[in-house]
Amino acid sequence: MKQLTAIIATLMVCLTLQAQFATIPLPQSVTTDAKGRTLDVASLEGITCDATVDMMRNAQFLSDYTGLPVISQTDKKTVAVRLRLNTAMTNPEAYRLTTDPTGITIEGRTPAAVFYGIQVLRQALFAKPATLPCGIVESTPRFAYRGMHLDVCRHFFDKEFVKHYIDILALHGMNKLHWHISDDQGWRIEIKKWPRLTQIGAWREQTVIGRNMGIFDGQRHGGYFTQADIREIVRYAQDRYITIIPEIDMPGHMVAALTAYPELGCTGGPYEVWGTWGVSDDILCAGNPKVYTFLTDVFDEVMDLFPSDIIHVGGDEAPKVRWKECSRCQQKIRDERLQGTDKHPAEEKLQAYMVRYLEKHLAERGRRIMGWDELMEGDADRTTIIMSWRDWSGSVDPATLGYPCVKTPNSTLYFDHYQLPQSAWSNTLLFGGNSTVEKVYNYEPAPDTLTPEQKKLVMGLQANLWTEYIAYPELAEYQVLPRMAALAEVQWLSPNKKDYDDFLKRLPNLLNLYKAEGWHYAPLPKKEN
């Protein structure tokens, strides 16, 4: 009887430990203390850490989250949260969180891993438990690339919002921010060699109301980030172990740049920064030598500002109408002996030539290029990282063609789309389809249709927030939350660890944390509650 009682007690402690750390993303492993001990949360006196800059900053983050002070541990009897580096751990992003009567220890091979463990503890302590069962909580992210995207071109979001957005990513254990900073509707990054990009290209005279209905608001809109702003934002992200991947979209989506420097286009203009949405026929002139100088100058300054080893070069939605009619572009095709095929005309090969030109230039400085899946149409080099978005068009999975890739399918991971049932849609508020929390949660970026070797090419996934119809910070928050929680679990957990019904049971505590932070989030549809 005593043995049965002990087994039941141990089981109850295990269930309680799992309940206390029923966080998002869910930890992969929870091991209960064999003795059934607990930690009195009120006994925690503070936070101690290894004496490095990064770990001291981690300790301050935890202090800000919990109110516990950062202290110097001089007495072994001190009950504290201890942050430690552990070089014996192999994965650089795996954390281990151990609870015992003397406190809580969070350890990892790197400060980033410790930071992820801090986010888990942050959620656990937010529920204000009186005690925590003793045991070990561990997790290793499934994917190395765990990202979100932010478009600041269609509507401008300032420096403080970008920092705020980074904070939201940090809570969800993400490590990449894909920052879309140039487009037809506004150029958002200061380039000192080409000052008119922001003097002229950062501003549009008006913005269309709704979905290109021909009615405009008559309000000048714009803004940009100085290089000092960008350095500040990059540091802010680095402190939270998030790498910012900048995107300068080329050769298309360049109307703002062409407005500033019309000589870079095939026709010479005049051009006007777009106040509408869609795809323009006016793109960079691939036959103009000045365009290549422009590209190297711009990307040199971008690389000086962003230490990311990956630089996004766009490559999407670049109609070749102007190139077919441009004598300089046609001469470039002849000079470079670019041969088209029935499937891929010479103009697509010309875009591939431009991309390879940039790829070589970036490689000389130790960088890799990333681009949208249209780059495959020009037979991009297999070192190019393909961002796969056109699943609705029947496009081929980049991994099957040997490309390293990041999955961000339009049908599921475009967070500018609706997240509620169609009956709740507005006719003019947003654009596109419907992607619910459940749909995001059930997405599988490396399906079994891929071979084991092809699955290794899937670096990870991200969701995109395009802002044509998202003009305010509150709506931006609402669009990404709580779908970002579902995305985070896909990024961290293998398919056999995922359980949507269990996710819904864990979600309320996270929603309450959102509420406490003052963040806006969408309600779950009734059928998903």
Which of 45, 100, 317, 381 is catalytic? The answer is: 317
The burial class, CB within 10 Å (0-12 / 13-18 / 19+), for 388 is buried
Residue 15 Cα distances to 27, 33, 117, 167, 214, angstroms: 14, 12, 20, 31, 59
Q: Tell me whether residue 317 is one of the annotated catalytic residues.
A: yes
Please report which helix (H) or strand (E) contains residue 97, including its range: strand 95-100
Identify whether 190 is a catalytic site residue.
no
The neighbouring-strand residues paired with 142 are none
Residue 166 to residues 7, 170, 172, 178, 307: CA-CA distances in angstroms? 44, 6, 10, 11, 17
Point out the catalytic residue in the list 183, 239, 373, 374. Answer: 183
Nearest to 307 by CA among 369, 246, 216: 246
Q: For tokens 């070990």, what's the residue?
A: 136
Question: Which of 155, 253, 312, 417 does the annotation list as catalytic?
Answer: 253
185, exposed or middle or buried, with CB in 10 Å at 0-12, 13-18, 19+? buried
Q: Is the C-alpha dihedral spanning 326, 329, 330, 331 positive or negative?
A: positive
Place of tokens 């403080």: 160
C-alpha–C-alpha distance, residues 206 and 495, integer Å? 46
149 annotated active-site: no
Rounded Cα distance between 80 and 45, Å, is 5
Hey, which residues are catalytic here? 183, 253, 317
